[in-house]
Amino acid sequence: MVMSTVRPRPLVLEREAKLASLFPGAEERRLEASGVLAADGGFYVIFDNAPDIGWVEAGLSPGAAGNRLLGQRRGRRSGSEDIAHDPAGGRFYVLIEAQARGRGFMAEVQEYDQGLGYLGRAWLDFPLEGANKGLEGLTFLRRQDQAFLLGLCEGNRCKDGEEGRRPGGGRVQVFERRAGDWERAATIRLPASLPFTDFSSLAMAGERLAVVSQESSALWAGRLHSSSWEVDGQGAVFQFPTDPRGRTLYCNVEGVSWMSADRVVVVSDRAKRGGRQDERCRAKDQSIHVFTIPGPG
């Protein structure tokens, strides 16, 4: 396996905002964003530290009348990692990274109706190594009228520890609903040339696939074969913008969703405190960002 030494081209920032500035009365709240979904003319946002589901208008204006936080009284109170939508079935799905089940751990999905009313939860039937290294991303795909949920493993080869940090083993687990829960139907192997040391979110639109990495501060864009669970070609890696000295600014990217063929919306989690991240990481944390993916050339 050979990793490219060519520096990826940067994504182009269109606009961004601190999430707390967008929701009325939320100016002092911690909003540890973990997932985002572009739908209904705006963006749905979920948070790792709260059960609320946010909706913001696409312009990211603090004065937009539609911006709101929808409190959820049922389901898990924390641990939400990503959000997916089945427009034909009128369902939203929120990923819970890992929960104890038997002697191990599995991820769950919480299901909501089109009005974000809570309906229940189900297991994603795939064993995980621990409570903190589970499935980090979730997206929905319908093929031949069959519904699938795609879950992105945080670690390479779906492993924890050093093995999980060794690049070249990106994995997406494919689930289909059977008897109430979601059973694993296939595994998508991301290109072995992908240099990411971790994975934090994914998104599908048609056959287009996007994956982001927090530690690598980068986005990979590629395609799936229309009739198989294989990636078509190597795709391309794009770096999130850096400061003038080439240092990482987008240190905590967590969620991604396609807006169009060359635009994505991304959210960032809270920066790590206690000296675990540089102070510059706070400038972009707990925020929502819209980027253009540069074309060839």
* 67 found inside a domain: no
Does the pLDDT value for residue 98 go beyond 70? yes
81: in domain: no
Q: What average pLDDT does the segment 45-64 reach? A: 94
Q: What is the Cα–Cα distance from 156 to 281, expressed in whole angstroms?
A: 24
pLDDT for the residue 58:
96
Contact assessment for residue 45 and residue 54, using Cβ atoms and an 8 Å cutoff: yes
Is 257 domain-assigned?
Answer: yes
Is there a contact between 256 and 213 (Cβ–Cβ < 8 Å)?
A: no
What's residue 6's pLDDT?
A: 64
**Helical (H) or strand (E) element with 128:** strand 118-128
Is 70 among the domain residues? Answer: no
Which CA distances in Å does 98 have to 28, 108, 109, 154, 211? 29, 7, 10, 11, 20
> Residue 134: inside a domain, yes or no?
yes
Percent of the chain with pLDDT over 70: 97
Is the pLDDT confidence value at 4 over 60? no
User: Residue 134: its pLDDT value, please?
Assistant: 85
Structural domain count, the chain = 1
What pLDDT digit, counting tens, does each position of 186-228 carry?
999 999 999 999 999 999 999 999 999 999 999 999 999 998 9
Q: Please give the model's pTM, rounded to 2 decimal places.
A: 0.94
Question: Would you say residue 2 has pLDDT above 50?
Answer: no
On whether residue 4 sits in a domain, the answer given is no
**Where does the pLDDT of residue 5 fall: very low under 50, low under 70, confident under 90, or very high at 90 and above?**
low
Residue 297: what pLDDT? 58
Tokens of 26: 């939320």
Question: Residue 189: what pLDDT?
Answer: 98
Asked if 264 and 13 touch (Cβ cutoff 8 Å), the reply is no
**Position 3 pLDDT exceeds 60:** no
Let me know if residue 200 belongs to a domain: yes
Whole-number pLDDT of residue 133? 74
Question: Residue 22: is its pLDDT beyond 80?
Answer: yes
Q: What is the pLDDT of residues 170-196, one digit of tens each?
A: 999 999 999 889 999 999 999 999 999
Mean pLDDT within 230-237: 96
- 267-271 average pLDDT score: 96
SS3 of 21-41: HCCCCCCCCCCCEEEEEEECC
Query: Which pLDDT does position 179 carry in this prediction?
Result: 82
Confidence of residue 278 (pLDDT cuts 50, 70, 90): confident
CA dist., res. 147 & res. 86, Å (int): 8
- Tell me what the mean pLDDT of segment 82-94 comes to: 97
The pLDDT value given to residue 121 = 95
Residue 128 lies in a domain: yes
Range of the domain at 188: 9-17+98-292
The model's confidence at residue 1, banded by pLDDT at 50, 70 and 90, is very low
